[in-house]
Structure 1
Amino acid sequence: MKEEIYLGIDAGSSGVKVCAFNHRGELLGKASRETKIISKSSRHHELDLNEYWEQTVAAINEMTQRFDNIVSIGLSVACPTIVLLDKNNNPICNAITYLDGRSEDFIHKTLGENKEHVMSLSSNSPSPSSCWVGTIGWLQSQQPELMKKVHKIVLFNGFLATRLGGKAGIDPTQAAYSGAVVLAGAPKWSKELLSYWNFDHSLLAPIYPSFAVVGRVSAQAAKQTGLKQDTAITLGSADTAAAAFAVGLIDGGTAFESTGTSGVITFCLEKPDFDSRFMNRYHVVPNQWLAHGAMSTTGGTFGWLNKSVWPEIDNHETLEQLARESEPGAKGLVYLPYLAGERSPIWDVKASGAWLGLRLSHTRSDMIRAAFEGTAFGLRQLVDIASKKWGIKLDELLSVGGGSRNHLWTQIKADILQVEYSIAQTSDAAAFGAAMIGATGAGYFCGVNDPDLPIIRTEDILFKPNKDKAINEVYDKHFGIYSALYPNLKETMHSLLS
């Protein structure tokens, strides 16, 4: 008898991964395809959905050619990625990604003096990436003819689910970033919060649990992908929520780090006690919440260095080798990683990146080393906030995602945060979580507490924090400088973008 295969589809902003797992959680196969963000300006970032679907189909086909017993599909997606569908569930325009900041001014102007009240209910800072109904309101004001074509508004997993044959829906982990649910209560659309936004609220797809089977693979999708018709499609969740489920983060006061294009430290909360500097959401686990300290371009920094600054360096391994030629403190150089604005903890789409302290004596190696350190200083800010807000003292931290494979970066983070880092055996935590959500929703596990439900295993290697007093003093000094830079440079950053 062939073993059952659970498919996890992880749709990110820069690519899609389709992973096949068995009942023990072992990765049996993976197919990936790169995609491109369409960036028309510093605040305009979209995805071509038809092209994205073609890449997704190609990756699924690669898996179905190897495995003919795929029994469930779970979805994990970059969040929020807004999709407008017509009556035939086809996109009427490009998707608007979480990096897009065009609606920022509109959101703040619309809310005005009501901003604090909205924050008290939604438990998130009203910005394009955590109040996406504001972006819908902005679209209504800017492109009313476009909005007349809209039949349903979904997020990225809702789009993929409909393409596979399911019905349109929005899961709680992404509804939490809408600015239209009262996060301390049950996941449902709030009439009061929606009243601030002038668009047809009936266009919003209904909220379904992450484990909900929203349909079965259609004949058309089966022909395109090689999947068996009627295979269960589970809605899934945002990528960091799926990764939290994958690592077994279901106890209050625990945390993990996910590192891809963005860098996120996630804390599990048993009570809805939120801090607005974090991105707060429902967990896929009922009656639990997640607080994400979400930085936008930690890993994205290194892709930018590879592609735009030093294109002759075509891989992250070379960046790491060059950074090793520098020293802790990067010879007096400090880096701000705000290449697409920033989310946690400053919430400013107009923030910009910088190296401070550049001298003729500095080398490329120093600049790269400073970038590794600057991203770690941002994470330290988040850990400090969690310590003061919830009394959480981290001794260890599990890191998942592609960036965790960079050993120098991981060691730098361990040193700057003064926590012991471990690494997941697979960098595909979000896809793993999506696959297990799909399998659970389809009935192959009996729930989140099923003892047979696997979680991600860790590598044997540990990254212990450096106890060298001189090095720690350098990091402490630079962390103080890093923390002071944004408040002092904020007006200058804004004037450069005006």
Structure 2
Amino acid sequence: MASAGRAAVSSSNERLVLAVDLGTSGCKCALVGLDGSVQAWAFRPVSLHLVGEHGVEQDPEDWWQAFLGAAQELLAGHAQRRRQIIAVCCSAFGECTVPVDKQGNALSRAMLWLDMRGADAIRRRARSGRLNIQGYGPLKLARWLRLTGGAPSLSGKDPAGHIAWLHDHDKPLFERTYKFLGALDFMNLRLTGRFCSTYDSALTTWATDNRDLSRVRYDDRLLRMLKLDSKQLPELLPSTEVIGHLTPKVAETLGLSPATRVVAGAVDNSAAAIGAGTVRDRELHLYLGTSSWIGAHIPEKRTNLSAFIASLPCAQKDRYLAMAMQSAACSNLTMLRDRILFHPDELMRDDSRPDVYALLDNIADRVPAGSRGLIYLPWLQGERTPVDDRHLRAGLFNLSLEHTREDMIRAFLEGVALNTRWMLEPMLTFVGCNRGASMTVVGGGGQSHVWCQMIADVTGMVIEQPVAPIQANAVGAAFIAGVGLGEMSFNDVPALCQRERRFEPREALRHLYDDRFGTFKELHRRLAPLYRRINQHRSAPR
């Protein structure tokens, strides 16, 4: 089902950006003013394709058709609205690989950030002899960290692993490929006909020298380590670059002027950092989507290898974005909804059923803090920060006959909040923030007042909730376009981002949640060896 947001009344001379937010679940399009106001939005879903035990793919043509469908819904019958659009700018999920030919046609479906087929191939490239550190050759790891700020994921989930797998297992396709593109790069190619990649989109190829943000470039030695040729990769550009105009065909399809400019845009974490209004140094934002992350801009490139946190190129040309990432956030609620409380067919059959997530909120709010001693471990897909462990799994701890379904619902929400605190602690040290600072929450999970208050109580942080948390990526893309067009600067952004509510941590719950957090960490310490033994020969769940 497609869905559209209600259009706001806009003045006839207001200039709008057609902002695109391509996520794994589908494509949102929004009409956003340069003041950050969202005039209208629409959504189209995109299907996943599972390939064998480890492969997860999407058809890039499905992305494009979802974009066209959502954009046409916004623009159909609105001649005035079409005239107001001055630019198109995309945000898209990262760690994705699309092989294309010289004409820009996709040669296969895209390998997504969930795809782990490249694990063995990238491990062969990362190792060196018998002496290795966490699976990496010492000299190789040192070079990756020094130049890029990180290193390829040994799970094979990023473009370095995807391309390695294609090289080793589908050589004909590898050799036919003109360029390997990310999702953002592919959308920009279809919009303008230009093969290019932003610094943040190209990052997880792990072949770029990011030490000087004024000249990010491919490094020959990194390319040799990965068995890659720079000719197979797109040119590198900052996120605010105007990369061209809409092609005549796209302009005609959307009813827009061929003179409409396209700004390069950013991957989702970079766009969310802008859309949250957290553009100043060390201002934290928490994204609660299918997965989650905490980010903050800082002026220098740094890496904390022990906590798996790094600062990386982002939408701001003179700043790095410090990133700590976790594998599962709202996916835990989707699991609860679709596999425990309801069957998906039930949700589809009954159109009168109330919004399930709002219902879960109301139920959780009636349960005492601490879920009557029930603790949920939200590791559905392993974990990434502050430990990188694909063997971890989710579970309810201390479940007894006295517990109810309502207790379990609150425990799921508290489990993600406890996991967020686990990620937050090394992140605060990394960026130089105090525990009592504020953090802006965006993404679909950021719409929940109950969850925002819970996260404030569990972490001890003041939680800021924007007016429309779920639209942060689209708003961020619009602001990036505004900067690229010279209409504004990133310094203007904080004043344009309105706050809906502010959630203060409640002192009365501090001792309770400190105790729960201690138990949470102890459960990880004791269970991690057991998870490793049980799951060492099994792939991470998808």
Normalising by the residue count of structure 1, what TM-score does the alignment of the two structures yield? Answer: 0.92
Q: Is the alpha carbon distance of 1:433 and 1:329 closer, same or farther for their aligned partners in structure 2, counting shifts above 3 Å?
A: same
| Contact 2:119–2:156 (CA under 8 A) maintained in structure 1 | no
Counterpart secondary structure, 2:425: helix
Aligned residue in 1 for 2:490: 448
Q: Does 1:52 align with 2:78?
A: no
Q: Does 1:120 align with 2:161?
A: no
Aligned residue in 2 for 1:220: 249
1:196 to 220, 225, 228: 225
Counterpart secondary structure, 1:497: coil
Q: How far is 1:233 from its partner?
A: 0.9
Range with greater deviation from structure 2 (423-432 or 462-471): 462-471
Q: Is the alpha carbon distance of 1:442 and 1:387 closer, same or farther for their aligned partners in structure 2, counting shifts above 3 Å?
A: closer
Q: Does 1:245 align with 2:288?
A: no
Equivalent positions of 1:101-140 (< 5 A) are 101-112=116-127, 113=132, 114=137, 115-121=140-146, 122-127=148-153, 132-140=159-167
Q: How far is 1:61 from its partner?
A: 0.6
| Contact 1:80–1:129 (CA under 8 A) maintained in structure 2 | no
Aligned residue in 2 for 1:351: 392
Aligned residue in 2 for 1:307: 338
Aligned residue in 2 for 1:12: 23
Q: How far is 1:12 from its partner?
A: 0.6
Q: How far is 1:292 from its partner?
A: 1.3
Q: Does 1:183 align with 2:223?
A: no
Q: Is the alpha carbon distance of 1:167 and 1:416 closer, same or farther for their aligned partners in structure 2, counting shifts above 3 Å?
A: same
Aligned residue in 1 for 2:5: none
| Contiguous gaps of at least 5 residues in structure 1 | none
Aligned residue in 1 for 2:504: 464
Aligned residue in 2 for 1:39: 50
- When the two chains are superposed, the root-mean-square deviation of aligned CA atoms in Å is 2.3
Q: Is the alpha carbon distance of 1:131 and 1:486 closer, same or farther for their aligned partners in structure 2, counting shifts above 3 Å?
A: farther
Aligned residue in 1 for 2:476: 433
Letter in 2 for 1:105: D
Distance in structure 2 (CA, Å) of the matches to 1:209 and 1:61? 28
Range with greater deviation from structure 2 (423-432 or 393-402): 393-402
Distance in structure 1 (CA, Å) of the matches to 2:261 and 2:274? 20
Letter in 1 for 2:117: R
Q: Deviations over 1:297-351 (max 9, x none)?
A: 2011112222233225852112223333433232333222222333222223443
Equivalent positions of 1:137-286 (< 5 A) are 137-186=164-213, 187-276=216-305, 277-286=308-317
| Contact 2:95–2:158 (CA under 8 A) maintained in structure 1 | no
Distance in structure 1 (CA, Å) of the matches to 2:310 and 2:53? 22
Equivalent positions of 1:72-91 (< 5 A) are 72-91=87-106
Q: Is the alpha carbon distance of 1:327 and 1:485 closer, same or farther for their aligned partners in structure 2, counting shifts above 3 Å?
A: farther
Aligned residue in 1 for 2:434: 393
Q: How far is 1:232 from its partner?
A: 0.6
Identical positions, percent: 24
Range with greater deviation from structure 2 (318-327 or 172-181): 318-327
| Contiguous gaps of at least 5 residues in structure 2 | 1-11, 348-355
| Contact 1:9–1:19 (CA under 8 A) maintained in structure 2 | yes
Q: How far is 1:250 from its partner?
A: 3.1
| Contact 1:329–1:478 (CA under 8 A) maintained in structure 2 | no
Counterpart secondary structure, 1:398: strand
Aligned residue in 1 for 2:456: 414
| Contact 2:301–2:312 (CA under 8 A) maintained in structure 1 | no
Distance in structure 1 (CA, Å) of the matches to 2:121 and 2:270? 28
| Contact 1:419–1:464 (CA under 8 A) maintained in structure 2 | yes
| Contact 2:145–2:303 (CA under 8 A) maintained in structure 1 | no
Q: How far is 1:408 from its partner?
A: 1.6
Letter in 2 for 1:345: P
Equivalent positions of 1:308-327 (< 5 A) are 308-312=339-343, 314=347, 315-327=356-368
Range with greater deviation from structure 2 (267-276 or 311-320): 311-320
Q: Is the alpha carbon distance of 1:452 and 1:413 closer, same or farther for their aligned partners in structure 2, counting shifts above 3 Å?
A: closer
| Contact 2:99–2:108 (CA under 8 A) maintained in structure 1 | yes
Distance in structure 2 (CA, Å) of the matches to 1:7 and 1:333? 45
Counterpart secondary structure, 1:170: strand
Range with greater deviation from structure 2 (50-59 or 217-226): 217-226
Distance in structure 1 (CA, Å) of the matches to 2:525 and 2:366? 27
Q: Is the alpha carbon distance of 1:408 and 1:148 closer, same or farther for their aligned partners in structure 2, counting shifts above 3 Å?
A: same
| Contact 1:123–1:275 (CA under 8 A) maintained in structure 2 | no
1:291 to 301, 322, 326: 322
| Contact 1:131–1:179 (CA under 8 A) maintained in structure 2 | no
Letter in 1 for 2:95: P
Q: Deviations over 1:410-452 (max 9, x none)?
A: 111111101111101122111111112123223333x434x48
| Contact 1:397–1:419 (CA under 8 A) maintained in structure 2 | yes
Normalising by the residue count of structure 2, what TM-score does the alignment of the two structures yield? Answer: 0.85
Q: How far is 1:453 from its partner?
A: 8.6
| Contact 2:156–2:162 (CA under 8 A) maintained in structure 1 | no
Range with greater deviation from structure 2 (27-36 or 327-336): 327-336
| Contact 1:336–1:353 (CA under 8 A) maintained in structure 2 | yes
Counterpart secondary structure, 2:482: helix
Distance in structure 2 (CA, Å) of the matches to 1:440 and 1:129? 35
Aligned residue in 1 for 2:351: none
Counterpart secondary structure, 2:237: coil
Q: Which structure exhibits the higher relative contact order, with contacts defined as CA atoms closer than 8 Å and separated by 6 or more residues?
A: 1
Distance in structure 1 (CA, Å) of the matches to 2:527 and 2:218? 35
Q: Deviations over 1:228-277 (max 9, x none)?
A: 22311111111111121223333322211111111111022111122231
Distance in structure 2 (CA, Å) of the matches to 1:325 and 1:488? 36
Range with greater deviation from structure 2 (397-406 or 108-117): 108-117
Aligned residue in 2 for 1:376: 417
Distance in structure 2 (CA, Å) of the matches to 1:418 and 1:303? 26
| Contact 1:265–1:292 (CA under 8 A) maintained in structure 2 | yes
